[in-house]
Structure 1
Amino acid sequence: MAGRIAVKRRTIRPRTLVVAAAAWLLAVVFLLPYAEMVVTALRPADELRDASYLPRHFAWSNFVGVWTDSTLGGNLRVTLLVAGGSTLLALLVALPAAYYTARVRYRGRRYFLLLVLVTQMFQPTSLLVGLYREFFQLDMLNSVWTLVLCNAAFNLAFAVWILTAYIGSIPVELEEAAMIDGLGRLGALRRVVLPLAMPGVVTAVIFTFISAWNEFVMGLTLSTVPNSQPLTVGINNFIGNYTVQWNYLFAGSVVAILPVVVLFALIERQVVSGLTAGSVK
């Protein structure tokens, strides 16, 4: 028929099918432990040793008992304060340092960036003895502020590196035009640079927040009182000397990962944009 519009069908290559199947298989492999965690969190206590994959009865009460039979509520509050406080502190220090490094070509700039990168090689566990002794002498053990300072310090280098790369990719002519119109340096930073650098800021925020949220070793060493310990240590308390409360352990783990998963899903696009900052000129 003359008036019929020919529609070109897109053919799928065998290579594309193989890559897609491999990607789905890899995703299933990585998601299976999380599925097992959710299933175990819903198992009754008398079915924990059953060989079946799914329980005969779903014990939704495990998600209630994990709050009433433990200090998990206080641990969650401590983790929120530590993750939020350390993220805010790291951002307040990293932003001016990154802005100055990206805009001013001072002597030793490369060595400063190299030093920032080298500090990422130090593990918190290698400094635990010194940190414990220092905070013990300052009478700051079992304090939220201690964990805030430590987490902010260990995540500061990454925040500076990411923000320096992103601010450096913003044309300096935009700031100069804003300052010609009457804005000062701080005004140009607040009204021009920060809105454009928001993907980089979000990337630094989410990675600092997740790192502080998942931190375990410093929380276990610097906090010995149950109510002052972070969520990761509170979940570990379900592992006793002779018994393990598997249903509460996995229920607490589900509670612990949900906020981070939701937060990352909401800002995933900006995180990818921030990570690729400076890769294309």
Structure 2
Amino acid sequence: MKRRAALAGLGLLVAAALLAPYVVMLLTALKPEAELRITPPRLLPVSWRPQNFARVVRDPEFQSWLRVSLVVGLASTALVVLAAVPAAYHTARHRFAGRGAFLFLVLVTQMFAPTALVVGLYREFFELGLINTYAALILVNAAFNLAFAIWILRAFFASIPREIEEAAAVDGCGPAGTLFRIVLPVALPGIVTAVIFSFIAAWNEYIVALTLMTDASMRPLTVGITSYVTAYVQHWDLLFAASTIAIVPVVVLFALIEPYLVGGLTAGSVK
């Protein structure tokens, strides 16, 4: 009993430590700009200003940044899934010459930080005339996130008993039908995990977007909201309000797909 109480207390402390920065961000977003310069600083606002969120949402530039982030996140995630599913399924179910080398090379791509590649990426996209275009960010984010998706989906596909596919073949289901009707529904937790990772990684990407998107109207949220605080303009209240809004899609996404993450990989697939 004491051990359970101690673990519960430790869990609460860890949760409080993880949530504290977000609570501070939310409370700061609700303060008038003048209160942000009070010394010593106060945690709770003296006067609450929810209008900060309305100002940010009505800002045409913020709306543009939000649109760019959504387009890039959704499109790059779709590309990742379309490329990762067949690659992962084929490497999980078929042996072929060079399979190990292919998987190793896929893994090696994760060893290079985007910062180390950003100069080369800028030069390449400049020559292709893709600077300040959706295509540049979509392709880069899809390429960066593809390796993780292939590896995690391959593990899910490999964990599915072959007897399921063999039973489908006996019932007259072809390879494509087996994949779409049997394998993909069973591997849904893995697909959802890959989708979550890819979307959040694209949503949070900063350094490549900062380099490739020099036009203010084509910047995603991560880059655009930094314009609220510069050497000449300092709107900390709007910055914190915009940052709070920026994390909402990620929180909502996790809330919606949480059942898939905790569900069994093949629960109920074999009777």
Shared fold (TM-score greater than 0.5)?
A: yes
SS, match of residue 111 in structure 2: coil
How do 1:235-274 and structure 2 match up within 5 A? 235-273=225-263
SS, match of residue 48 in structure 1: helix
Deviation at 1:107, TM superposition (A): 2.2
2:160/2:266 contact within 8 Å kept: no
SS, match of residue 267 in structure 1: helix
Deviation at 1:70, TM superposition (A): 5.4
Distance 1:201 1:92 in 2: 11
Aligned equivalent of 2:91: 101
Indicate the percent of aligned positions where both proteins have the same amino acid. 54
Aligned equivalent of 1:205: 195
Q: Which of the numbers 207, 210, 219 marks the counterpart of 1:217?
A: 207
- TM-score, normalised to structure 1, is 0.90
Structure (1 or 2) with the greater helix fraction: 2
In the alignment, structure 1 residue 45 sits paired with structure 2 residue 33: yes
Q: In the alignment, residue 239 of structure 1 is paired with which amino acid?
A: V
Distance 1:205 1:100 in 2: 19
Q: In the alignment, residue 115 of structure 1 is paired with which amino acid?
A: L
Distance 2:4 2:107 in 1: 38
1:203/1:275 contact within 8 Å kept: no
SS, match of residue 71 in structure 1: helix
SS, match of residue 236 in structure 1: helix
Deviation at 1:221, TM superposition (A): 0.4
1:101/1:109 contact within 8 Å kept: yes
Aligned equivalent of 1:187: 177
| Closer/same/farther in 2, CA of residues 275 and 141 from structure 1, 3 Å limit | farther
Length, aligned pairs only: 265
Aligned equivalent of 1:35: 23
Aligned equivalent of 2:154: 164
Contiguous gaps of at least 5 residues in structure 2:
none
Deviation at 1:25, TM superposition (A): 1.0
Deviation at 1:242, TM superposition (A): 3.8
Deviation at 1:275, TM superposition (A): 9.0
Q: Which segment is superposed worse, 169-178 or 246-255?
A: 169-178
- TM-score, normalised to structure 2, is 0.93
Distance 1:243 1:36 in 2: 22
Contiguous gaps of at least 5 residues in structure 1:
1-12
Larger radius of gyration: 1
